Structure 1
Amino acid sequence: MATRDQVVVVGAGLGGLAAAIRLAAAGRDVTVVEASDVPGGCCGTATLGPYRFDTGPSVLTMPSVLADTFGAAGEELDDWLPLRRLDPYYRFAYHDGSVFDVVRGQEAMAEQVRELCGPAEAARYLRFRRRLQQIFDVEWPLFIDHDMTRLRAMVRPYALARLAASGGFRRLDRLVRSCLTDERLIRAHTFQALYLGLSPRKALGVYASVAHMDTVGGVFFPRHGGMHAIPVAMAAVAEKAGAVIRYGVRATKVEADGSGVTAVRLDTGERLQARHAVVACDLPAAHQGLLPDAAADWRLRRPSYSPSCLVLHFGLDRRLPDQAHHTLHLGEQWDSTFAALEEGRPQPDPSLLVTYPSSDTGAAPAGHATLTVLEPTANLRGGLDWDDLGPRLRDRLLDRLTRLGYGDLSTTPSLTIAPPDWLRRGHSAGTPFALDHRFTQTAWLRPSGRARRVPGLHFAGMYTAPGVGVPPVLISGRLAAERVLEGRR
């Protein structure tokens, strides 16, 4: 029989590794099973000849959450994963030719706004920045950094009243427009709705906290190894703490009896006894055979998925002088692009995220560089013919990049990832962004972090609360570990 100390973690992504570190550091007998040959999950990596690319998130905010994860095992983040703060955090390039850099510091940012939009808007921006802080201060401890597996976690009248007073329950677009008037600045503080899979007109104002994390808290990047260095370092810390990580092994069934979880079966034929299992992989896929029938969650009966993305990774034979790490090329159209995504169609005038990790010198040979371009697009739920559409969107994107000044990249070594590729990589609906963050998929209404009818079965990752993004996924792993350590079966 399994002992109370035995835990199996399914998936060595950021959520699974965050749980494994804490559980192993607390003395639990932890085994992590990962179908891939490397850690990372969504925070993956790919190579093309001498070039290395991050295939997952390019944005790291709230490094204190990452430091807290390492600290749970008595380790210092800087010893394992030195970070640097990007400067600028983002560069916005607008269709009218204007450029706006998001930089560190309140006064420096106010000066950027003053130069772009004038002194009156700069004063409005400073008031808006205070509003962002108010929302963040209420939302973070009570609704992001908090276990939402029980309904009463949401019933906090005083906190809800404070959020309402600061505009948190207004629509994000209306909240920002009530503070700012320049369209360029408004878009710079509402584009983050794309992270949530929603239009700014449909996302709640509470998600202004994402803009706060990006534009106030700052954006960071590992000094070596790209974003994939994060799970690599976390896996090493987990193993040092005593966890066993088994790569190239797939979990096929979480077994349970009337008392709860009993074991996890592997595709090797092995049966790992366990009293707790933390499932930190694609949750809808897990319900297609991996999980017991009793683990069914009503919140996943009619899931609403985020849009997907078309990503082109280029291996450049040159460097790009004065190119920012993150550049957002915002299209002239705005509302219609979000409407297209909501209707399951490609955007008519997409905004592009261009990532140029110039400081990651190991990603390319000397004198060369890598460039990644992301275009939001429809997921596979719309039934589009991607055999036909994929090449056409790729050609359109290459033409757009030429017009934006990146040169003719049609013959440059490249790797393309479209929605069907995301599906083959294990992402339901062909989107790496999981469920969107509409109200009915937020906090307690998001798929639960534990299976109420299967004691000992817990979940981590972007399908559970708090949701999508590196800090929320790390927090989901911490919350799962805390439930295990509390003995909540």
Structure 2
Amino acid sequence: MRSTSKHSDPSHAVVIGAGLGGLAAAMRLGAKGYRVTVLDRLDSPGGRGSALHEEGHRFDLGPTIVTVPQLFRELWSDCGRDFDADVDLRSLDPFYQIRWPDGSTFTARQDTDAMRDEVARLSPGDVAGYERFLKDSEARYAFGFEDLGRRSMHRLRDLVAVLPKFAWLRADRSVAAHAKRRFRDPRLQMAFSFHPLFIGGDPFNVTSMYILVSHLEKEFGVHYAIGGVAAIAEAMVRVIEDQGGHVRHGAEVDEIVIERGTARGVRLTSGESIAADLVISNADAGHTYDRLLRNHAKRRWTPARTKSRRWSMGLYVWYFGTRGTADMWGDVGHHTILNGPRYQGLVRDIFIKGQLSQDMSLYIHRPSVTDPTVAPAGDDTFYALSPVPHLGFDHAADWEAEADRYQDLVAAQLETVIPGFRDRISASHVMTPNDFRDRYLSPHGSGFSIEPRILQSAWFRPHNVSEEARGLYLVGAGTHPGAGLPGVISSAEVLGKLVPDAARPVSPPIPQKVAAE
């Protein structure tokens, strides 16, 4: 293959995608002695964690919180750097406020006594259930996050070995079903079961292992990076460049080149070829297998298999700035969850029926109460996020026709908490599932890749080491352990354990073929 990159020591690794999973992978490989090239079609790093700038406002496009900061600190430390010297991370208190249509609220904090008081304020009889829920969450964190989430699950025998523990922890039960066993009050059932929505999962079908998020919040807090997640991405790029690596923007990979069963590099849409000893894809797993390996016969991840997966929901996100409102709406903090009149019914419309509903629940992000860099002095920056069906359903929403009407519905809900905001808008930007499909090449415009159901997690999920070619690896939301900042950073940690140092052979054997599930 004619290439613009020559093979030489240290060995060359190409990373497809400058999302946080790809950047973390590049840092890990750089620390192992690889010469790394990161390729990304966008004009700035971060992938879903990148940002747009309009009229003095910075719109953080994707994730807004950091829940397990030690993962970043460990990553930086393994590269000989200090995360806190590179990123200004602020602890938030409270974490977020949940609001219901009847006017009741629940404020989530790190302090256990404060949380116990919040539970008692809504439902005194549920305090004991809360105590049990915390213990349940901690047990699932120890097993699901610190154990399974930080090692590869590409061997079938690894899955078989942990099945008894899955059974003991009732992984077959959904998050919502588990919360219902611990809380009688429907509001508390929602408050302690909605978290899978942050990683693209249906709380009524996603395994109860994901109640571990409650332990993450309690143990490590909820944090925000000044400058947004984009500032973390930019700091990662600086580490990569200091290691001798290179991050190229405006470079879209069209195909992974396979020769005699081994990944040998990539070909860009421009026609340029880049040779590599390792290829790591941070592109969506569906895009990787269906598009980037379209000319290579697949053993496991065939088009039929990827088509049969359940995908996470889509997202409608309205980013807007407001003039002179910094001293207004004082009861609206950094994170607010505004519930609609339905919970289970709305989730079913989104995930099962694929139906765009008239009612909605909103996540409202107001970073300007914490971060002065996000808006002009005296102004505010917001985003309002509504989960919606992805584009893969029959009769999927036509967002070209629906976007304006849906924006009016969102605005009506927002008026209940930030009245008069429309008269003060100074900048505005909207993203629908169409934009996730076109900007991030996300199958069906899904917000978080493959949904984390039990039969789409661990061994059942696309593996970090690919079955389809030697020297091909996957990181990011679509692979193990899953979506969310902790998940994508952990996927790079798993990669670091799979890939040998650059001085050693770089093409491990293809894992033995496993029986279809």
Give your verdict on TM over 0.5.
yes
Find the aligned partners of 1:262 and 1:398 in 2 and give their Cα distance: 50
Q: What is the one-letter code of the residue matched to 1:142? A: D
* 1:334 aligned residue: 343
2:246 to 244, 247, 251: 244
* 2:26 aligned residue: 20
Q: Does residue 1:125 correspond to 2:130, yes or no?
A: yes
* 2:186 aligned residue: 183
1:161 to 160, 164, 171: 164
Q: How far has the Cα of 1:197 moved from its partner?
A: 3.5
Find the aligned partners of 1:406 and 1:234 in 2 and give their Cα distance: 39
Q: How far has the Cα of 1:332 moved from its partner?
A: 2.1
- Closer/same/farther in 2, CA of residues 295 and 78 from structure 1, 3 Å limit: farther
- How large is the Cα RMSD of the aligned pairs? 2.0
1:257 to 259, 262, 265: 259
* 1:394 aligned residue: 407
2:13 to 7, 12, 25: 7
Q: What is the one-letter code of the residue matched to 2:210? A: Y
Instruction: Map Cα deviations across residues 313-338 of structure 1 (whole Å, 9 max, x no partner).
Output: 11011114232211001122112101
Find the aligned partners of 1:283 and 1:134 in 2 and give their Cα distance: 30
Q: How far has the Cα of 1:85 moved from its partner?
A: 1.1
Compute the TM-score of the two structures, normalised by the length of structure 2: 0.89
Q: Does residue 1:205 correspond to 2:170, yes or no?
A: no
* 1:315 aligned residue: 321
2:357 to 342, 347, 350: 347
Find the aligned partners of 1:406 and 1:145 in 2 and give their Cα distance: 45
- Closer/same/farther in 2, CA of residues 162 and 451 from structure 1, 3 Å limit: closer
3-state SS in 2 of match to 1:293: coil
Instruction: Map Cα deviations across residues 123-156 of structure 1 (whole Å, 9 max, x no partner).
Output: 3212211111111112123321121122122122
Long gaps (5+) in structure 2: 1-5, 510-517
- Whether the aligned pair in 2 keeps the contact of 1:442 and 1:466 (CA below 8 Å) is yes
Q: How far has the Cα of 1:288 moved from its partner?
A: 4.3
1:356 to 363, 366, 381: 366
* 1:105 aligned residue: 111
Q: What is the one-letter code of the residue matched to 1:139? A: G
- Whether the aligned pair in 1 keeps the contact of 2:356 and 2:397 (CA below 8 Å) is no
Instruction: Map Cα deviations across residues 23-73 of structure 1 (whole Å, 9 max, x no partner).
Output: 111211111111112111111111121111100111221111111111121
Instruction: Map Cα deviations across residues 422-447 of structure 1 (whole Å, 9 max, x no partner).
Output: 22212221122111112221111111
Find the aligned partners of 1:283 and 1:137 in 2 and give their Cα distance: 27
- Whether the aligned pair in 2 keeps the contact of 1:11 and 1:280 (CA below 8 Å) is yes
Q: What is the one-letter code of the residue matched to 2:239? A: V
Q: What is the one-letter code of the residue matched to 1:470? A: L
Find the aligned partners of 2:201 and 2:38 in 1 and give their Cα distance: 33
* 1:282 aligned residue: 284
* 1:324 aligned residue: 333
Long gaps (5+) in structure 1: none
* 1:221 aligned residue: 224
2:391 to 380, 389, 401: 380
Task: Single out whichever of 249-258 and 234-243 deviates more from structure 2.
Answer: 249-258
3-state SS in 1 of match to 2:152: coil
- Closer/same/farther in 2, CA of residues 259 and 305 from structure 1, 3 Å limit: closer
Give aligned-pair identity as a percent.
30
- Closer/same/farther in 2, CA of residues 408 and 247 from structure 1, 3 Å limit: closer
Instruction: Map Cα deviations across residues 55-114 of structure 1 (whole Å, 9 max, x no partner).
Output: 011122111111111112111110011211111111111111111111112122112222
Matched positions, count: 485
Q: Does residue 1:35 correspond to 2:27, yes or no?
A: no
- Whether the aligned pair in 2 keeps the contact of 1:89 and 1:215 (CA below 8 Å) is no
Q: How far has the Cα of 1:196 moved from its partner?
A: 4.4
- Closer/same/farther in 2, CA of residues 122 and 76 from structure 1, 3 Å limit: same
- Closer/same/farther in 2, CA of residues 311 and 442 from structure 1, 3 Å limit: same
Runs of 4+ residues over 6 Å off in structure 1: none
Q: How far has the Cα of 1:215 moved from its partner?
A: 4.9
- Whether the aligned pair in 2 keeps the contact of 1:446 and 1:464 (CA below 8 Å) is yes
Instruction: Map Cα deviations across residues 284-332 of structure 1 (whole Å, 9 max, x no partner).
Output: 2233442251456144242221111111111011114232211001122
* 1:195 aligned residue: 198
Find the aligned partners of 1:338 and 1:415 in 2 and give their Cα distance: 25
3-state SS in 2 of match to 1:404: coil
* 2:382 aligned residue: 371
- Closer/same/farther in 2, CA of residues 216 and 122 from structure 1, 3 Å limit: farther
1:145 to 124, 129, 150: 150
